Structure 1
Amino acid sequence: MSPQFLWYIPNTVQPGHRGDDTTAGWGSIEYSTELARTAEDHGWGGALLGTGWGRPDTFTVATALAARTTTFKPLIAVRPGYWQPAHFASAAATLDQLSRGRVLVNIVSGIDSPAAYGDSNVEPAARYARTREFLHLVRRLWTEENVTFEGEHFRVTDSTISPHPYASDGRVHPTLYFGGASEAAERVSAAEADVQLFWGEPLEGIAERIARLRELSEQVGRRHAPLEFGLRITTVVRDTTEEAWR
């Protein structure tokens, strides 16, 4: 996969997100569209849309922005537990077809008010096991017909989604991004993710983690193209270093 350079759209109705001093327009389609079009006009591939309970629904926002842009790729953050895999696979494939292959997906396993949306799976080990099943099943639903799967957390019988994702130039489905630094999270990435996302960290630490994930990929019997890597970095821009740190 060629390198992707993506921006960030806060996807929140509250001003002041991560130090942003904008006070008007948060959560509106006008404000989010302005950010998406600005990213598109300046050569960015797309933008991450953050997720969290109590914020606008990420998938709905992504759909609206895809309809108002031309090349912009929404990196849609979603949570297993909030979505069932077959439901998500169908929704994402539909948007991918409508946008001609512009959907990117960021799978989030961190805990986030699960009781508020009816998720009872809060133990870390179980959450990561569920995420691995979610990634495995979504990928199968995107690429196969009549899928039957019986896992610990999810099951489908004779399931075929329509349409399948938009295919072009060797791309058969949206790229699956995943982040996490725990051993359980890294095993999920090594087995089922397309891209492991890191936070901004010292380069030596990143190099160590890449080497470990490549070794893990062999240990878990990875069946997909080699795992790729990305950095998720927040920039704080001010006139001086002192202002930025403050």
Structure 2
Amino acid sequence: MTNQSEFLWYIPNDVKAGHRGDVTAPDHNSLDTLTTQAKAMEEHGWKGALIGTGWGRPDTFTLATALVARTTTFEPLIAARPGYWKPANFASAATTLDQLSGGRVRVNVVSGPDALAAYGDTEGDQAQRYARTKEFMRLVRRLWTEEDVTFDGDHFQVSGSTVVPRPAQIGDRLHPKLYFGGASEAAEQVAATEADVQLFWGEPLEGLRERIERLKTLSARLDRDLPPLEFGLRITTLVRDTTEQAWADAEAKVAKMAEGSAGSWQDHRHGIAVGQKRLLDLTGRGDVLDDNLYTAPGKFGGGGAGTTWLVGSAEDVARSLRKYEALGISHFVLSDTPYLTEIKRQGSKLLPLMI
């Protein structure tokens, strides 16, 4: 067990109430409510939070900036989508917030489906989409680490570009980490050469072991010129005082999902990406895989990180997280609802077992 693993939470950032069954706050997306959550993360051991994104939700970067201004250690993991942002515009915005916050910015580069036409973007096939993402990540990093950058790519161009201010340098951290997800072959090629952290959803251990080994092999074959790729897990964790209570509550939640009375669970309505399909396919292998990976939510609308859950006592879930850690995963993004209740419960019960 190392002390290097980091634990983040999740902020849905959704104007619609009832996200994943969280109906506790009528003003669920007000700045005061979200600030209360972010401050609770600071008080209960979380490094920060992934902020949900997609057209039809509030702008992720604006929300991250507001929460940074109202907190002291909270680190937002901010989604950036090539096409929604141009690389130079994003590099400047992110480094400004990073400098103002003393190095608290993290970035999640998103390439999955979205309502592109709604903000004037278009994409070609999968190969074109990931070629554009690769250029975006390479250029943003160059703008953060070099001056007078000239870049003439197939998708993006800049000439004599210097981003001011520079990112906050803290120890060996030269710029915000670039997180990335995606399970297709095209996505893995981008991750292997451009990402700092590859994020996985909650698959069984054996599946992630294979993916990690494949990405390491790809990194070597593609002559990665960055520090070694790191790995992260984004998953729902349902924690209760006892194993029995956790499973009773998990099964009750799924029963409500089956009735259609559990709020909005599906964040990925625009199409089924390869990674999402991998999770949905798990239901054919059984409702519970490994020790306590619950796949049943995927049958009733659970999407993204809500498709599979780790269920159990704090000790049960910590044991499972340690097994992922043993595979080489060192970044964890956890969540459950009600969000504020679970920030506190899992921060006080689960996180101490992971130190």
Q: CA separation in 1, counterparts of 2:184 and 2:21?
A: 28
Matched residues, number: 246
TM-superposed CA distance for 1:22, in Å, is: 2.5
1:245 Cα shift?
A: 2.8
* 2:254 counterpart letter in structure 1: W
1:27·1:56 contact (CA, 8 Å) conserved in 2? no
Q: Name stretches of at least 5 consecutive residues in structure 2 with no aligned partner.
A: 256-355
Give the 3-state SS of the residue equivalent to 1:158 in structure 2: strand
> Could you say if the C-alpha distance between residues 133 and 34 of structure 1 is closer, same or farther in structure 2, counting changes exceeding 3 Å?
same
Determine the structure 1 residue equivalent to 2:251.
242
User: What RMSD over aligned residues (CA atoms) do the two structures have, in Å?
Assistant: 1.3
CA distance in 1, matches of 2:4, 2:104: 14
- Equivalent residue runs for 1:152-171 within 5 Å: 152-171=154-173
TM-score relative to the length of structure 1: 0.97
Cα deviation, residue 125, structure 1? 1.4
Tell me how far apart the structure 2 counterparts of residues 196 and 95 of structure 1 sit (CA, whole Å).
Answer: 23
**197, 209, 212: which one aligns with 1:207:** 209
* 3-state DSSP of counterpart to 1:148: strand
1:210 maps to amino acid: I
Could you tell me which amino acid in structure 2 is paired with residue 42 of structure 1? H
Match of 2:62 among 60, 63, 86: 60
Q: Which residue of 1 aligns with 2:112?
A: 110
Q: Give the equivalent residue in structure 2 for 1:173.
A: 175
Distance 2:88 2:210 in 1: 35
- Provide the secondary structure at the position in 2 that maps to 1:156: strand
Query: 2:132 aligned with 1:123, yes or no?
Result: no
- How far is the alpha carbon of 1:23 from its aligned partner? 4.3
Deviations 1:127-180 (A, max 9, x none): 111000000000000000000000010000000010010001111000000000
Matched position secondary structure for 2:236: coil
When you count helix as a share of all residues, which structure comes out higher?
2
Measure, in 2, the Cα distance between the counterparts of 1:153 and 1:19: 40
Q: Which residue of 1 aligns with 2:92?
A: 90
Q: Which has the higher contact order (CA 8 A, sep 6+)?
A: 2
Correspondence list, 1:71-86, <5 A: 71-86=73-88
Whole-Å separation in 2 of the counterparts to 1:156 and 1:202:
43
Runs of 4+ with deviation above 2 angstroms? 235-239
